[in-house]
Amino acid sequence: MYRAPRGTLDILPEDQPYWRHVTERAHAIAALYGYEYIDTPIFEETSLFVRGVGEGTDIVDKEMYSFQDKGGDHLTLRPEFTAGVMRAYLEHGMRTRPQPVKLYSLGPIFRHEKPQAGRYRQFWQFNVEAIGEMDPALDVEVMSVAWHLYEDLGFSGLSFHINSTGDPRCRPRYIEALVAYYRPYLHLLDEDDRRRLARNPLRLLDSKSPAAQPIIEGAPKITDYLCDECTQHFARVRRYLDALGRPYVVNHRLVRGLDYYTKTVFEVYAEGIGAQNAVCGGGRYDGLIEALGGPPTPGIGFATGIERIILAMKERGIAVPGLPKPTAFFAPLGEESKVVALRLITELRAAGVRALLGFGDRSLKAQLRAADRAGATYAVILGEDELAAGQATLRHMAQGTQQNIPLAGLVAFLRDSEATR
C-alpha cells in the first residue's frame, strides 16, 4: 500500500471547512489592509534561496528539496515565499509602482524537517510582504495584519514577541561580542551549537539545547549594541504598539532562522499556542533585495503556517462555518423516473441550485439514507405514481414532512428555497 510521503498531509473533505474559512479570512484581511495577491512558482533557481535565505541557516544547509531537472537546471521547491516574491518584484520592475508595494500569497512550502505534531515537510503559508518603505509605521501595519487574522479567527490572549536584529553597521559589533562571550563555554556546547558559533552565531540565542540555556541567559543583548538609526526605529515601533494598546514582550533571544532580517523581528503568541511551535514569524529585510542583485530597497513581512493555525483552532474548539449542502437529492424509482430526474437536475444546476442524483437503482429507503448523509434539504421522490400524475413528492429531510409538487413548478420552487436559505 502506498502512503503519503513522510511529513505530508492529505487535506480531506472533512477538513475543508477549516481550510476554506482560514484562507477566506486571510484573503479578506489582506484586502482590508490594501495588500494585493501574488502567485509565484513553486520552484525557483536554487541559488535564489542560497543567496536570499543564506548559507549557514538550517533551511539552506539541511532542509531544501533541491534537484537538477532534465535540462540540467538547479532548482528548489520553495522553502519560503519571501525570496521568490522579491525576485518577482525585481523582475517585473515593481519599484516603478507607488511604494510600498504590498503583496500577499497563500500556498505550499517545502522543508525537509523532522516531522512531528505541527511540523511538516509540505505545509501552507499565508505570507505578507510590504516592499520599498522604511517607516516603522509599516512594521506595525504588517504586524497588525497577523494580529487581526488571529483575533478574527477567535484566538485570545494575543501578544507580540519583538526584537531588533540591527543592521550591517551595528550587528557585526554585536556578533563579535557574542562570539567572545561564548568562547570560554565552547566545551559545554553540543555539536549543533558549535556549528552555529562558527557559521551563524546569532542562532546560538534560540538554541533549544538544555546545556545552552544558562549560557544564553547571560549573553550580551543586541539592543545594547544597536546604532542610533536602529535604536530609534525600534523605539518608534514600540511607541506605535503602545499607542494601539497591543501587548508585546521584548524578547532578546528572538533572532529568527533566516539570514535576511534587519531591525524589527517579531512573532505572535496566543493563549496556549506559540510556546513550542511559532504560528507566525516575520521582520524587516532591508538588505535582501540588494543581495539579490537589485537596488537598495527596504521591506518587511511575515508568514504564518495554515496547518498550525488549524491545529490550534481545533485544540481550542473554535468552530467554523460548514460548507454549503445540497438543496435537493433526487431519488428516482425506475428507468423512466431517472430520465426525468436527469433532466430536472440539469435544469437546476444550470440555475445554480445544488442538486444530487441517487445512482444505482437503489430502494427508496437506501436513497433517503443517502439524501440524509449528503445533508440535503429536500429529497425529491420520483416513482411511477408521481410520474403518471406529473408531480414529485418533496420530502423535507429535517422535518420529515412531505408534499406533492407539479413537475412544471419544481425547479422554481427549489431555486426559491435555496435563495431564501
Residues in contact with ligand HAM by the rule CB under 6 A: 80-82, 111, 113, 119-120, 123, 125, 127, 129, 257-258, 278-283, 285, 301-305, 307-308
Of 102 and 111, nearer to ligand HAM (C-beta) is 111
Per DSSP, the residues of 66-110 read EEE-TT--EEEE-S-SHHHHHHHHHHTTGGGSSSSEEEEEEEEEE
Shortest Å distance, C-beta 350 to ligand HAM: 42
Query: For ligand HAM, which is the closer residue by CB, 127 or 144?
Result: 127
- 146 vs 184, 213, 238, 258, 412, CA distance in Å? 40, 29, 17, 19, 45
Give the shortest CB-204-to-ligand HAM separation in angstroms. Answer: 18
Rounded to 5 degrees, what are φ and ψ at 325? -100, 160
Least distance to ligand HAM from the beta carbon of 111, Å?
Answer: 5
> In angstroms, rounded to a whole number, what is the distance separating the alpha carbons of residues 207 and 192?
9
Which of 124/225 has CB closer to ligand HAM? 124
Residue type, position 122, single letter: Q
Side-chain half-sphere exposure of 85, counting CA atoms within 13 A = 27
> Any alpha helices (H) in 124-227, and if so which ranges?
136-153, 171-182, 191-199, 213-217
* Set of cell numbers at residue 415: 431555486
C-alpha 107/C-alpha 127 separation (Å) is: 9
Nearer to ligand HAM, 54 or 283 (CB): 283
Please, which residues bridge with residue 129 across strands?
Answer: 103, 301
Q: Please report the sign of the dihedral spanned by the C-alpha atoms of residue 122, residue 289, residue 257, residue 232.
A: negative
| Residue placing its CB nearer to ligand HAM in the complex, 150 or 182 | 150
Query: Cβ of residue 131: shortest distance to ligand HAM, in angstroms?
Result: 10
Neighbouring CB atoms inside 10 A of 321's CB total 9
Minimum CB separation from ligand HAM for residue 223, in Å?
Answer: 20
CB 298 to ligand HAM: min, Å? 12
* Smallest distance, ligand HAM to C-beta of residue 59, A: 7
DSSP state at residue 121 = S
State which residue, 82 or 337, has the beta carbon closest to ligand HAM: 82
